[in-house]
């Protein structure tokens, strides 16, 4: 009798362990599916992307995410982090373009009190703040050349120094980087280190532009409408207008246009007339510039003019202006400060 009871108890223990193990597997699978589901799309190219993201997430390798502005590179980086063993640790995204080298170095590595004017106390950088987690470096092609060697050291040895001190610190950080530029071209021009490129490009993920996955537009529209107001609908004519467009600003532009259309719609249905594309998307750049700029201005002067006009158009609202320009809010804030705006 005792052996029978003991055998039954053991069977119950084993059954419970199996049940708990299966629950863990199911919870992990459900979590993985839900996370990937946040990336909207069922086209073949997106299914391939999901598959690659799932595989890459299981490793700890550096990943280079490429693609045009507005395609969702940061979303891919977040999905990789959320599906990885680091998912319970921090994820921090840092834009590295158009930021002076010293400021960016202090942001990434931290600094010691007295390292520069205004450094009144010690401060940790992002590599310490994100310890155990994932650091996403956006627009890595714009990383100042003098900082590329320091980032390379982190990738090679997991070591760094704060600005203004000689103490070597350890970094347990996974680095994901993104760019919309041709890094091979920049390497040939001497603007980007080849050794850093190979360290970052262990795995490359290219995010497809919206024009290459137009079959996903209805799903994306439904997703954006639901986020704005679950009662909103879109007419077949309005959807056709979206399907026929070439989408230079990709998914980010589609989201902006749906938000705008939801405001312009006279009732709960968005009609074709409510879909308004940005002027810069439908006119040649030259036609938008004063004659003196078109003929004589440098590229920097043209960029500054467009930024000024876009801020005027949105009455100084930097968030809306940045979205319409397909650049980050941080980049626009820095540029506006430089221009005294």
Tens of pLDDT, residues 158-168: 888 888 888 88
pLDDT tens-digit series, residues 266-283 = 888 999 999 988 754 444
pLDDT tens-digit series, residues 59-105 = 999 999 999 999 999 999 999 999 999 999 999 999 988 788 888 88
pTM: 0.70
Determine the average pLDDT of the residues in 101-129: 82
pLDDT of residue 19: 47
Topology, domain 43-208: Rossmann fold (3.40.50)
pLDDT of 178 > 60? The answer is: yes
Topology, domain 213-277: Helicase, Ruva Protein; domain 3 (1.10.8)
C-alpha span between 94 and 135 (Å, rounded): 8
pLDDT of 23 > 90? The answer is: no
Written as six digits, the tokens of 220 are: 């994306």
CA 321 to chain centroid, in Å, comes to: 18
């Amino acid at each position: 009798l005792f052996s029978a009871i003991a055998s039954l108890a053991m069977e119950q223990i084993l059954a419970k362990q199996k049940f708990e193990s299966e629950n863990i597997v199911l919870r992990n699978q459900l979590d993985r599916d839900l996370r990937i589901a946040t990336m909207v799309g069922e086209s073949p190219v997106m299914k391939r992307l999901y598959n690659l993201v799932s595989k890459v997430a299981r490793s700890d390798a550096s990943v280079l995410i490429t693609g045009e502005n507005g395609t969702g590179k940061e979303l891919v980086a977040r999905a990789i982090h959320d599906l990885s063993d680091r998912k319970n640790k921090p994820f921090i995204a840092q834009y590295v373009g158009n930021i002076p080298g010293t400021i960016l170095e202090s942001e990434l590595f931290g600094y010691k009190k007295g390292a520069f004017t205004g450094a009144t106390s010690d401060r940790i950088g992002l590599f310490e703040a994100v310890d155990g987690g994932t650091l996403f470096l956006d627009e890595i092609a714009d990383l100042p050349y003098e900082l590329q060697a320091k980032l390379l050291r982190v990738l090679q040895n997991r070591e760094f120094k704060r600005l203004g001190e000689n103490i070597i610190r350890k970094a347990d950080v996974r680095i994901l980087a993104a760019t919309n530029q041709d890094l091979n071209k920049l390497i040939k021009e001497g603007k980007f280190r080849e050794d850093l490129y190979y360290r970052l490009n262990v795995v490359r993920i290219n995010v497809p532009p919206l024009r290459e996955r137009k079959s996903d537009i209805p799903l994306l529209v439904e997703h954006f409408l639901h986020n704005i107001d679950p009662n909103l609908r879109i007419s077949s004519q309005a959807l056709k207008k979206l399907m026929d467009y070439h989408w230079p600003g990709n998914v980010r532009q589609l989201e902006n246009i749906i938000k705008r259309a939801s405001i312009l719609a006279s009732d709960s249905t968005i009609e074709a007339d409510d879909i308004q594309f940005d002027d810069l998307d439908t006119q040649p750049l030259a036609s938008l510039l004063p004659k003196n700029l078109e003929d004589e201005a440098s590229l920097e002067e043209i960029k500054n003019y467009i930024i000024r006009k876009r801020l005027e158009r949105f009455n100084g609202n930097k968030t809306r202006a940045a979205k319409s320009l397909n650049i980050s809010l941080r980049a626009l804030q820095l540029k506006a400060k430089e221009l005294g705006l």
